[in-house]
Structure formats: C-alpha cells, structure tokens
Chains A and B, each alone.
Chain A
C-alpha cells in the first residue's frame, strides 16, 4: 500500500467526497427533514382508516324482553366508473368467464328483488361515483352479492333497528329514520343508546393488502347503553288489545289505557301506556300521525268528574268536610247567577259527602267545594300537577292548561270544582290517583327504569317523591272511591275477591271551531284497596253515541284483573270500607 496519494488522486477523492457529502445532505434533507412531506404523504396514502361503528343499545322492557334491538345489515353501493363488463373465474371451466354489465344487473336484480333495468341504469350512470343499489340487505344476501365478485360493487356495513314486538309499545319506543332517530325513546335516549364509534388504522400496500409490520392501531368502539323501561310487554299488549276493542266498539277517535305500578319500590312506574292504535316502529308511515306519539301525553282534555277528586281531597285535607257530612242535594242549583245541574234529573236527596262523590253530583260537589277559597282550590290543583307540563322522561311533555283564579271567567270558579275549565293529559289524571292511593305521597310517573352499561352496570333512574295529602285524607279518599264502584257510577268495575275503587268522568271535548262537539270519557281505578298495587286508567275520546251510552268499566276490570293475576296479587275477599251514600237506612234511591 502506498503511504501517499498523488495530487490527482487527492483531487479525485475530494470530488468524490464532496459529491458524497452533497448526496448525503440531500438524503438527510429528504429523509430526515422531509420539507415537501413526501414520506408523510406516502404514509397517508397507505394509511386506511375504517370507522368501527358502536353497537346501538337495546331497549328492553321491565323484565328484560327486547323491544328494540339492532341487527347487522349492509348497504349495497356501486361505483359506476368501475362497473362494466368483466370476467370472473369459473371453477368448473377452470378459466375466466366473461360477464356483461347487463348480466350483472340481472343477477343483482334477482338477489335484491329489484328491477334489473333500474339497476343497470345505476351501474352505468356516468354522472356519479356512488350509487346506492339497496339498503339494509341481510348478511345472507350480502354474501351472495359479494360472491358475484362484480368490480365496483361494494357493501357498507350498517346497523338496522329491529322491533321484535312490532306495534307493542311502539309509540313509547319511537322510531329511527334514515338520518337518525325521530321519535320516542329512540330520540330521547339517543345519546345513551348511541355510544362512541371507534376506528381502525392500518397501512395498505399498492396491491391492496395490509402491510403486516406497519402501523396498526385500533381504538375500540364504546357500545351504547341499553335502556330498560318500566313497561311490561305483556301487560302493554293486553292493554292495547283491550283499549282497541273498546275504541272500536264505540267508534271513538282514540282511546288510551294506562297501568301504573304502586308496589313498594316501584311506585309511579308505568307498566303500560296503551293507545287504541299504535305505530309499528319498523314502518311508521303506515300509521296516522296522531298515533305515532303516546296519546297519554300528547292529548289534553278536561278531566270531567275525575277532577272532583281534587275538590273532595282538598276539602278533607283542610278539615272542611267529613266523608259522612250530610248535605241536601238538589238536581239544579244557582250560584252567583250561574245555573249548575246534574247529569240526570232527580228529587232532592239527603246525602253524605261519600254519596255525592259516588253518584258524582255536580250540585253536591259545589256545596263542598264552595267551603274552600278559590285560591286554595287552585293551589291544590297545581300541587297535584295540573297546570304543569308532565315529564316522564320520554321527550314528550304532557300538557295541562289551568289559568290562575284571577283569569277565571264567571263559570270557572264553579266548573273547575268538577273537572271542567282546565285540561290535563291522561298521565295528569293518573298521577292524581297514584298519590291518592299511596298515602298522599306523589311519586312522579316515569317510564325509564335504568340505563345499563355494556358491562352490565346499572344506572337506575329515580325521582323524588313528595307528600301532597295527609295519610288520613288518602285513606278516606280510597273509601270514597270504593263507594263509586260499590253503589255509585262505576259498578261494572267490581272484581270478585278484590276491593276496587275508582272514579269515572265525562267531559265535553272542545271542537276545532270552538265550542264543544263531543265527549271524553274516562275511568281511573285502584286495586286492591287494602294495599293498593296498581292504578288503571281508561280514556276514550269522542265516542259515537249519546251522553250516558258509554261504559269503560269492563275494559278497566279486564286489564286490572289481568295485571293482578300476572303479578300474583292474591284476592283477599276483605269487607268493603265504603261509607253509606244516603242519610238513613234507605240507600237505593233512583238515579
């Protein structure tokens, strides 16, 4: 080896080194500094991000039976730029077989049960890169389509809501449109049901295959919570059948049957909220708009004689009357120049307060109600919930209109005593009887029992209870209600072996053009009175026929009997606690 290098060698070496330095610098510039972002661009070209959809939570009934769930479905989409005549490998022939786009359209039409001409148009359109061939295709059909191996035909996984019970509790569950939830719990509890979608990031080589050693990240999706309702699917179905039967019998505009649980620990839970017609969440367009939301909340009407319960409870609470206080009740009476009369003409009767309530006499009610100040009566109406929107956690508020006394007209100080001149929803009425049946304590009605995390953790939904009436008032009111069923206006509500109490009501329904042009008939009952377990309310709006033709008590007793036996409430055959309705021995005065 030579110790020294010639000058030419040195110059040559220097040039080579300089070039190396330049190249190295350039390499560092491109690889290390990457000012143009080539490496970044290359990676992002290879990176694929796939969203991992979060499973939407289920809606289940109080016993965990599925009311709304999700199923895996596929949307079949096409990129018309890529579709066209192509070849597919044929295993039998062992070679490629040509397939024309027309054949493709026909094969797809057969699988998708669609028109092949339309599909052909979509497959050959030249003004779009994206055409949806079919929505919500079952995995089986999807697989068959993928087996066709048509270039440019892809699938996108989607989740479809299924409602295994169809129209049972349909208006409560609500429904989902193509752009998201539209009504009911699907909409109200959407945030809890939806969850958080995750994503999967990976690199794909030029041949479309994932590069195994490159970036791979997976952020798992957080599935949505399940929502457990207080609704009992079986009771709900039974109530829907019963109220539909009654509504069709009277050819009414609508009907509603609501069942509320009073059992310990479940106070105020709505077991059934049944409408005469109910939307099927899988096909909401089929149902009239009226029946797409729960009628027990959307419809407000005058409670009629049911409202007398507030007057009686307030008078008992204030100590202004006793159940056996005696009154001489005329058929018609005049107060402040306003004439008030009872439903049917009768002689003057010597009656107890309990008898007035049982026979639902307006004149007698006025005699009791007038012992109360207007403002006091108004305050009681507000306390039991009238005049306030009713929110049970369904996103639809029940409306109630109640004007303050200073805005009342000449008749309202009288009519509000027997449930006219103000309105409330079915649930306003039910809430009143819930508190009367439960020791005077108001347990707000609710329909969502709990939210369930995917790992099974429960988040119960609870509500604050509030005492409205004293325990004594509540006990007396139950006895008054028993009189209604024993010898009063709702004797058809009796159930053998159980003590039943309730109150019927009929009020005129306001017409669209002003004035009254129909009736709203209702009955709310409680059983068994020795230890109230359930409240059942029946309401029928605008039944055909004349006043007095309608009787809802058989529907009530059907639903109540079904509920009592379903929940194993044993008959007690206890003695009735009802007070006498008339003063003296004779009790069978004509109506």
Chain B
C-alpha cells in the first residue's frame, strides 16, 4: 500500500514528456461489455444448476455411503455371528454322526446287532443263505469312547427356542437380533440406535468404523 502514492506520482509526471506521441496515436475506443446473450445466460444457469446438482449428488452419496457403512458394520457382525453359529451346529452334527454316537443312539432306541442276512440268487431263484433272527442280547460293544466335544455348552447353539419365537424363517439368536434392532442406520438423528452405541465403538465419531482387527 505504501508504494502506491509513489507510483502515482511517477505516472503523473510522465504525460508531460510524451504528449506529442500520444496525440498522434489513436485514442482507445471505449466499448461496453458485450451483452450476454439469452442463450449464454441459459447455459450459465445450466452449468450452475449442474454444479449444484453435482454437489447435491456428492452430498447425498456421502450420506448414503455413511449410512450404508453403518449398516455394513451391523450386517458384518450378524454374518460373523451366523457363521459361528453355523460352524457350531455343523460341529454338533459331525459329533453326532460319529460311529460311536450313532451306535449309542441306536442302542438307546433298542436296536441290536444284525444277524446273518438272507440272500437269494435271482438268476436261479435259489436261497443262497438263510436269514437268522437277530438276538436281543447282541448289542454293540462300546470299547471306543465317544469323542470329546469341543462344545461343552450345547445350549449355546440350541436353536429350538429362537425358532419358536422367530417370526420369519430365520433361525438363531442372530436372527432375533435383527428383529429387536432396526437394521437401517439413522445417522445423525441422535435419538435411537446411534446414541445407544458406546463411545468406544464410535471412536469419537458418529459412525462405527469397520473393525478390521478381528
């Protein structure tokens, strides 16, 4: 700012020496700014609208992504829970399918070891071997111990109760969770699910971050 007066005095001194030259030159023609034509005005408005629309879209996408992230976290948790539950159930089935377990179940429902089966030769119509009656005392021995279950609490995966109360076809506590908790995240409304989440889960924000560590 302090330079301006100095520059102003210099330019004020200059015209005195150059007057002849400046008079011979054509004086600059003064022109009004070109009129913006109606069409161009429309274009400008269009561009502006587009910008606003883009901004709006970006905002909307952002909000949507943020909300979706919230949902993804919840769905991931649910998925993980279901995977574990499925794994536990599969294991239960595998343990129950072991030959010892099958043999024990067979004995408890009164089954006995088979006796000789009768066989026919279909081509000659002959009886190859006669069938014998199974003896009721012939129960399978149980020298081989049953497998040690890794799931000491079978109740943990007992789905019968949840299945009874479950409204839809979904089973298990994971399904119950979706019934009791709304699945859609309501970001920023500050009243329901978001507010109930603890600070550690939100890590200072309003949306729980995807947890990559487990």
| Residues of A near any B CB (own CB < 8 A) | 1-3, 6, 9, 48, 50, 65-66, 69, 71-72, 88-89, 91, 138-140, 143, 149, 155, 157, 160, 162-168, 200, 202, 207-210, 233-234, 236-238, 240-241, 244-245, 248, 278, 280, 282-283, 496-497, 561, 565, 570-573
Contacts and interface: CB of A to CB of B under 8 A. Distances in A.
B148 interface: yes
B135 interface: no
Contacts of B203: 207-209
B116 interface: yes
Contacts of B182: none
Task: Report, nearest first, the 3 A-B pairs whose CB atoms are least far apart.
Answer: A166-B147, A244-B143, A237-B99
B91 interface: yes
A71 B150 contact: yes
Interface string B189-214: 00000001011100111000110111
Most chain B CB within 10 A, of A50, A139, A233, A240, is at A139
Contacts of B150: 71, 138, 160, 162, 282
A280 B143 contact: no
A6 B7 CA distance: 11
B144 A167 contact: yes
B3 A2 contact: yes
A233 B10 CA distance: 107
Contacts of B204: 207
B144 A278 contact: yes
Contacts of B3: 2, 9
B84 A69 contact: no
A123 B98 CA distance: 40
A287 to B, nearest CB: 10
B121 interface: yes
A377 B41 CA distance: 112
B118 to A, nearest CB: 10
A157 B100 contact: no
B156 A245 contact: no
Most chain B CB within 10 A, of A3, A209, A248, is at A209
Given A66-B94, A71-B150, A157-B214, A149 B200 contact: yes
Contacts of A50: 212-213
A52 B191 CA distance: 38
B148 A1 contact: no
Contacts of B91: 71, 162, 164
10 contacts: A72-B87, A162-B150, A165-B100, A166-B144, A166-B145, A166-B148, A167-B144, A236-B99, A244-B143, A497-B129
